[in-house]
Amino acid sequence: MNDIEKQKTANVLSRVLGVAHCPMCNGHEFTLIGKVDVKLRHSDAHVPTVAIVCPTCGYMSLHACVTLGLPTGHEDNGDD
């Protein structure tokens, strides 16, 4: 992800999630890691996601790009 993609993704997550709240440590900050393709077991299918991590406890969550209206990274075989 380039800086523009990261900012757009952060804006979408902020709009959808509101104030960040870590379910493990009650932290109020997350760091955007980038795109992660989650491969489904016993299938060729995969789910493009964006990953965020809590900088305090390391709790990580994945959010489906399609649901958020974000590029999946497969539209143009782009380098993400």
- Interacting residue ranges for Zn ion, rule: CB under 5 A: 22, 24-25, 27, 54, 56-57, 59
Task: Tell me the two tokens of residue 76.
Answer: 């143009």
**Minimal distance in Å, beta carbon 21 to Zn ion?**
9
Coil, strand or helix: which one is 37? strand
The string over 37-47, giving b where at least 16 C-beta atoms fall within 10 Å of a residue's C-beta and e elsewhere, is: eeeeeeeeeee
Q: Which is nearer to Zn ion, 25 or 66 (CB)?
A: 25
Q: Which is nearer to Zn ion, 50 or 54 (CB)?
A: 54
Q: Which is nearer to Zn ion, 56 or 61 (CB)?
A: 56
